[in-house]
Amino acid sequence: EQPQAVKDTLAAYVKEGKIDFSEGGLDWKELKEVTRFYFVACGSAYHVSLVAKNVIEDLTEIPVECDVASEFRYRNPKLQEGGMVVVISQSGETADSIAALRLAKEKGLPVLSIVNVLGSTIARESDHVLYTCAGPEISVATTKAYSCQLAAGYIFSLLLAKAKGKISKEETRSLTEELFLLPGKIQQCLSFDQEILPMAKELKDADNIFFLGRGLDWAISMEGALKLKEISYIHCESYSSGELKHGTISLIEKGSPVIGLLSQEELAGKSISNIHEVRSRGAKCFAIRMEDITIEEEDFAHNLIVP
């Protein structure tokens, strides 16, 4: 269902090629004045916020802070006037996220939520709501809702960049068009069983699996690690490629499985050098990479190319 769910989410906010959030009660002028965003969420939704932070800061230069909702209210957050709190939640009923939303409102900040369930508590109590169109998420392990939250986050970032005058009409149009290619690319990934199966067979008896990534790849790999442990019961953690050497590398031994995410050309060289570090300690490495990122095949036991 992921291709359709993502397509529906994008189509809900892009009308005749133009991004339109008016249904969510999001006023263009209000958005333009926001000086800082505070994203709050749990689990997979928190991982989405880390992607959104990367994209928003990159496109708009507006600072974005991300908090795990269960920590937010206990750290007495300093929320600046002019800021906006963004709560991401599939169910709209997660207790820690609701508490974070209420704290934000107490402190007088407007709250925008990205929610999947219509009329849920978070949706009702927020000033603005961007609904994702994932449909009912029956599985506890979120998949399509996560993808839809990412799609909503990207569209939101584009609108923001446009409101702030950071990207031109043409750039907005071309990036929006690019987003609409996603459902087809997701469909392609869903047909990769033949490529994934041998990799899964090699990983199935592992006690520990490590994900490595930089930038966006790190944010995405956190979700990979969560999903893998949640449904396979194999212990799995994600580390930022450069941070691994500050202690965790001592866990890497002969045969330790390491999955490297390589989707950003400008960071790939650095990430590959971290792969070499773990390889020299005997790790068995797997790559999930974009086609145009060149690797030395012999560095990896398997490498999966995603569109």
Q: Is 44 in the site for ligand M6R (CB under 6 A)?
A: yes
Interface map 183-222 toward ligand M6R (x if CB under 6 A): ----------------------------------------
Residue with smaller CB distance to ligand M6R, 14 or 24:
24
Q: Which of residues 79-118 bind ligand M6R (CB under 6 A)?
A: 89-91, 94, 97
b/e sequence 90-101, b meaning 16+ C-beta within 10 Å = bbbebebbbbbb
- Tell me the residue number closest to ligand M6R, measured at CB: 43
Residue in the block written with tokens 């996220």: 97
Residues near 58 by Cβ (< 8 Å), separated by ≥ 6? none
Which residues ranging from 141 to 180 are in contact with ligand M6R (CB under 6 A)? 141-142
Query: Should residue 240 be labelled a site residue for ligand M6R when binding is judged by CB under 6 A?
Result: no
- Toward ligand M6R, which CB reaches closer, 14 or 152? 152
Among 45, 158, 163, 272, which residue interacts with ligand M6R (rule: CB under 6 A)? 45
- The verdict on 120 binding ligand M6R (CB under 6 A) reads no
- Helices and strands per DSSP (H, E), number in the chain: 12, 12
Residues whose CB is less than 8 angstroms from the CB of residue 206 and which lie 6 or more positions away in sequence, other chains included = 234, 257
* C-alpha span between 196 and 90 (Å, rounded): 28
The radius of gyration of the chain from alpha carbons, rounded to an integer in Å, stands at 20
CB of 222 to ligand M6R, least distance (A): 11
Select 44 or 176, whichever has its Cβ closest to ligand M6R. 44
| Per-position x/- string for 4-43, each x denoting binding to ligand M6R as judged by CB under 6 A, each - no binding | --------------------------------------xx
**At 228, which helix (H) or strand (E)?**
helix 216-232
Distances (CA, A) of 272 to 102, 195, 202, 263, 296: 43, 21, 21, 11, 9
Residues that bind ligand M6R (CB under 6 A): 42-45, 89-91, 94, 97, 140-142, 226, 230
